[in-house]
Amino acid sequence: MPNQITGNSEETECLELARQSTYEIQRLAETMQVVAEQFCSEEHPVINGIMARISVLSDITYHAAALHGEGRSESRPLNELRRAFKGRI
């Protein structure tokens, strides 16, 4: 049993780390979109598009893996996540 408890504790810590990392990635991507808008250059649409995609993928990961810790039933529906992944809203 001690190994099982350790494994669960480690899994819990890993999920928390993944949750925090995903959240930070999403915030960084949103910040980069704002920064890109401030520096209207030829690269702006490319930077904005990349950051938008990072944000979408982070949100998909957050909900698909239920990184909010409340289970898949509290996440966005799978078909909605699949549409977002394929670039459809």
> Taking 80 as the threshold, does the pLDDT of residue 31 lie above it?
yes
Give me the half-sphere count of Cα atoms (radius 13 Å) on the Cβ side of residue 14.
Answer: 7
Helix axes 78-85, 44-64, angle to 10 degrees: 160
Is the pLDDT reported for residue 75 higher than 70? Answer: yes
Asked whether 59 and 26 are in contact (CB, 8 A), the reply is: yes
Instruction: State the DSSP string of 37-57.
Output: HHS--TTHHHHHHHHHHHHHH
In which residue are the tokens 């949100």 written? 59
How does residue 42 score in pLDDT terms, banded at 50, 70 and 90? low
pLDDT at 48: 79
How confident is the model over 46-59, as pLDDT tens digits?
777 888 888 898 98
Residue 30: the pLDDT is: 87
Global model pTM greater than 0.85: no
